[in-house]
A and B are shown apart, each in its own frame.
Chain A
Amino acid sequence: MDHSIREDRGALVVSLAGDVDLESSPRARTVLLDCVGQNRTVLVDMSAIDYIDSSGVASLVEAFQSARKAGSPFALVSVSEAALRVLQLARLDRIFTIHASLDDALADGS
């Protein structure tokens, strides 16, 4: 798994790429929680995720719950087909805020 963090119009955009699995999800978790800890809007770009498993989903869930507690916006963006299928299997596709593109997400103000 690769990741990168950049700022775009006031939001922190975390891009995750490749396989988010049992080996890499601890890193994803740390990155996501660090960003959420900055009390800014966090958008997770999932367009380049080839594979995500339950541990990867769990990292997203934890970051989501942490942001909610802090009252800061947290959304998933451009979720790849493979990742969306897994979120659907977990019935989490309606719990996360999911935007089709970064522009949509920023326009929405989340």
Chain B
Amino acid sequence: MDTNGTENGPDHGHQRSSRLAQGLGLLADMSRDFADTRDIAGTLSRALIHITEYLDAEGGALFLLEDERILRCQSSVGVIQIDGLTLPADQGVVGSVVQANAGRIVRDAQTEPDFDKSVDERTGFTTRSILCAPMSIADQCIGAIELINKHGSDGPFEDADLALLEILCSSAAMALLNARLAASLVEQERMKREIELAAEIQRNLLPAAGTSGFPLFGFNIPAREVSGDFFDYFTLADGRIAWCLGDVSGKGINAALLMAKTASLYRCLGKTETNPSALLARINDEIVETATRGMFVTLIGGIYDPANDTVCFANGGHEPPLYHSRDGIFHDFPAEAPPLGILACTDGNQFPQETVRLDGGSFYVFTDGVTEGKLPNGVSLGTEGVKRSLAKDANLPLDERLKAICRMLDRDDGALHDDITVLGIDAARPTLARREAPLGDQSFTYRFAARAELLQGARNAAREYLKSQGIAQAPINDIVLAVDEACQNIIRHAYRDPDKGDIVLDMALHTSADPASSLRTLVIYVRDFAPEIDAITVAPRKLEDTRPGGLGTHFIREIMDEVAYLRPREGIGNLLRMTKEIPPIH
């Protein structure tokens, strides 16, 4: 606005207020246009025409910043037609406005050092005065609108013109940023859906959870939606089990795609090529032929033969697998061959294979996400940590042993930086009926407060359930005693204060995995929510010792086939698992 009061005659005042009204009308029209449009470029062009007309300029141009370094003319109108013209973002009057993020009036272009005369030379047009304002929101400048030569003999542009252009430019900038944001949100949403689809397809590439009694168990926990890790196993026609575990270099979608390819190659070729050394060589050559430069796969592939209890495997550049013998000795097998996808095989023995007899021991394969995974104290688990955990849990079923490792690393505190993938083979101690397996309609759950006077009710309920399952009276009496003793241990040792918590009793009968067997396995879980108890404090007494105490635990061990103190998945309390084989009813 002109603050010089001498020109404020009645005519001027009328002109000003009607211009202001027009300006506001233009701003309103533009805002509406921007809000409604999907064609942001067309809307910007129309806005430029209106602005140029309204400010009575001979020509106008709208420049947008590209990559912070280039200004490109998006639209031009009037005497100059420079659509598509580019200039460095720090040159010319437009450049100076964008750099300073402030509008300016150039009253005499020909004497202005920032003015780039080359455009005039090309167009044959003479630029006299320039009005230019940045298109910016807060500190972010995304372009500028430049108007050339005020029409007729009105002279140069005025401060009021600049003020108005700045407002109009802000409105245009806001509309453009909104449109860009909306487009990027749509794109992000689309990408997210695609990644979810990819993750689902990837999960389907992994084998389904192992069935009870199957000698292999494995799992994969991706650090992101999609994973570069994988494992697989399947039973061959002759009863042997082919398995593999691998890790693709890198993370994210590209790693996931190479993972999908390698896993598919393994599954396809592994059905006919059962020699691990030859199989890895074939997969290697396939990947070398087509892999993206720089990406590779570490892979262990092998065969477990239940008939002679041997694991035969070849290791292409992967973390050494671990063998844990029956006597508790660990042995690892460092890779002698490079990862797959680096060099085509030149001789027949690039991936040498090794054979291990399980002999009551277990064989473990894992990715570096396990050994490099962080414990709560920030230290990596390391191979030694893996060994310690496996040794400590050696008497647990295979799946529990592997899950215990996973629980140390995947703690819901964002500690998981890399995918975790583990595979174990353990034939001598087949996995017991898995806790996660649906208990079915033959299961029993009874929850009660940990109080002595409620034990009789629990015993009666357990007795009824066992009777309904067709179990004979003598074993029922024994099992009920074991359950009662387990609950007593909780009441006496775990919950220090009476009335401080519940006991949950779960029982289920599982039929044998072996169809020829008519044995059934009764699995009982007794769960409490008390502070963790040390299994040593509930150790059985020595028999020659007739003092009371420890007798209950002795009963439990005497009656049940297997007794294990587990850590509940939820992390609080104690979980006792007892199993007993139930002979068939005659």
Q: Are A82 and B477 closer than 8 Å at their CB atoms?
A: yes
* A contact residues, range: 20 to 34
- Please tell me which one of the listed residues A19, A23, A82, A90 contacts residue B555 in the complex, with CB atoms under 8 A apart: A90
Q: Which of A9-17, A31-39, A58-66, A69-77 contacts B (4 or more CB under 8 A)?
A: A58-66
Q: Given the interface contacts A53-B481, A55-B488, A85-B477, does A62 sit within 8 Å of B548 by beta carbon? A: yes
Distance to closest chain A CB from B378 (angstroms): 45
Q: Give the chain B neighbours of A23 by CB distance below 8 A.
A: 452-453, 455-456
Task: Say yes or no for B526: interface residue by CB 8 A criterion.
Answer: no
Query: Bound state CA distance, A83 and B488, in angstroms?
Result: 18
Within 8 A of A (CB), among B527-586: 543, 546-549, 551-552, 554-555, 558-559
Q: Are A58 and B551 closer than 8 Å at their CB atoms?
A: yes
- Please tell me which one of the listed residues B452, B547, B559 contacts residue A22 in the complex, with CB atoms under 8 A apart: B452
- Please tell me which one of the listed residues B488, B491, B549, B555 contacts residue A89 in the complex, with CB atoms under 8 A apart: B555
Residue interface bits B122-135, CB-to-A below 8 A is 1, else 0: 00000000000000
Query: Bound state CA distance, A51 and B456, in angstroms?
Result: 10
Q: Give the chain A neighbours of B491 by CB distance below 8 A.
A: 22
Task: Say yes or no for B485: interface residue by CB 8 A criterion.
Answer: yes
Q: Give the chain B neighbours of A22 by CB distance below 8 A.
A: 452, 455, 484, 488, 491-492
Q: Are B555 and A21 closer than 8 Å at their CB atoms?
A: no
Task: Say yes or no for A57: interface residue by CB 8 A criterion.
Answer: yes
Q: Are B478 and A85 closer than 8 Å at their CB atoms?
A: yes
Give me 18 A-to-B residue pairs in the complex whose CB atoms sit less than 8 angstroms apart, sorted by A's number.
A22-B452, A22-B492, A23-B453, A23-B456, A53-B555, A54-B488, A54-B548, A54-B555, A57-B551, A58-B548, A58-B551, A59-B548, A62-B548, A85-B474, A85-B477, A89-B478, A90-B555, A95-B546
Query: Bound state CA distance, A91 and B474, in angstroms?
Result: 18
Task: Say yes or no for A106: interface residue by CB 8 A criterion.
Answer: no
Query: Bound state CA distance, A62 and B551, in angstroms?
Result: 13
Q: Are B477 and A21 closer than 8 Å at their CB atoms?
A: no
Task: Say yes or no for A102: interface residue by CB 8 A criterion.
Answer: no
Task: Say yes or no for A100: interface residue by CB 8 A criterion.
Answer: no
Query: Bound state CA distance, A66 and B455, in angstroms?
Result: 28
Distance to closest chain A CB from B566 (angstroms): 23
Q: Given the interface contacts A90-B554, A91-B543, does A53 sit within 8 Å of B549 by beta carbon? A: no
Distance to closest chain A CB from B154 (angstroms): 104
Query: Bound state CA distance, A82 and B459, in angstroms?
Result: 14
Q: Are B481 and A61 closer than 8 Å at their CB atoms?
A: no
Query: Bound state CA distance, A61 and B551, in angstroms?
Result: 11
Distance to closest chain A CB from B458 (angstroms): 10
Chain A: which residue is nearest B480 at the CB level? A51
A-B contacts at CB below 8 angstroms, number: 65
Query: Bound state CA distance, A22 and B551, in angstroms?
Result: 13
Query: Bound state CA distance, A65 and B492, in angstroms?
Result: 23
Other than the known A54-B555, A58-B551, A89-B558, what 18 A-B pairs have Cβ atoms closer than 8 Å?
A: A21-B452, A21-B456, A22-B484, A22-B488, A23-B455, A51-B480, A53-B484, A53-B485, A53-B552, A54-B485, A54-B488, A54-B554, A55-B488, A55-B548, A55-B552, A58-B549, A61-B548, A89-B555
Chain B: which residue is nearest A21 at the CB level? B455
Query: Bound state CA distance, A55 and B555, in angstroms?
Result: 12
Q: Give the chain A neighbours of B547 by CB distance below 8 A.
A: 61
Query: Bound state CA distance, A65 and B551, in angstroms?
Result: 16
Distance to closest chain A CB from B546 (angstroms): 5
Distance to closest chain B CB from A90 (angstroms): 6
Query: Bound state CA distance, A58 and B543, in angstroms?
Result: 13
Query: Bound state CA distance, A96 and B546, in angstroms?
Result: 11
Chain B: which residue is nearest A92 at the CB level? B546
Task: Say yes or no for A5: interface residue by CB 8 A criterion.
Answer: no
Within 8 A of A (CB), among B435-462: 452-453, 455-456, 459
Query: Bound state CA distance, A24 and B480, in angstroms?
Result: 17
Residue of A55, A91, A92 with most partner-chain B CB within 10 A: A55
Q: Given the interface contacts A65-B546, A82-B477, does A54 sit within 8 Å of B551 by beta carbon? A: yes
Q: Give the chain A neighbours of B546 by CB distance below 8 A.
A: 61, 65, 92, 95
Query: Bound state CA distance, A21 and B487, in angstroms?
Result: 12
Task: Say yes or no for A86: interface residue by CB 8 A criterion.
Answer: yes
Distance to closest chain A CB from B217 (angstroms): 35
Q: Give the chain A neighbours of B543 by CB distance below 8 A.
A: 91
Chain B: which residue is nearest A18 at the CB level? B456
Within 8 A of A (CB), among B476-522: 477-478, 480-481, 484-485, 488, 491-492
Q: Given the interface contacts A21-B484, A22-B491, A95-B546, does A90 sit within 8 Å of B478 by beta carbon? A: no
Chain A: which residue is nearest B550 at the CB level? A54
Residue interface bits B225-262, CB-to-A below 8 A is 1, else 0: 00000000000000000000000000000000000000
Query: Bound state CA distance, A86 and B556, in angstroms?
Result: 11
Distance to closest chain B CB from A91 (angstroms): 5
Query: Bound state CA distance, A36 and B246, in angstroms?
Result: 72
Q: Give the chain A neighbours of B551 by CB distance below 8 A.
A: 54, 57-58, 90
Distance to closest chain A CB from B564 (angstroms): 20
Q: Give the chain B neighbours of A65 by CB distance below 8 A.
A: 546
Query: Bound state CA distance, A89 and B488, in angstroms?
Result: 17
Query: Bound state CA distance, A54 and B459, in angstroms?
Result: 14
Q: Give the chain B neighbours of A92 by CB distance below 8 A.
A: 546
Query: Bound state CA distance, A3 and B91, in angstroms?
Result: 107
- Please tell me which one of the listed residues B474, B477, B480, B552 contacts residue A54 in the complex, with CB atoms under 8 A apart: B552
Q: Which 10 A-B pairs have the closest CB atoms?
A: A58-B548, A54-B552, A23-B452, A54-B551, A22-B452, A23-B453, A22-B488, A91-B543, A89-B558, A53-B484
Chain B: which residue is nearest A29 at the CB level? B548
Query: Bound state CA distance, A54 and B452, in angstroms?
Result: 13
Query: Bound state CA distance, A62 and B484, in angstroms?
Result: 21
Q: Are A89 and B559 closer than 8 Å at their CB atoms?
A: yes
Chain B: which residue is nearest A88 at the CB level? B558
Chain A: which residue is nearest B456 at the CB level? A19
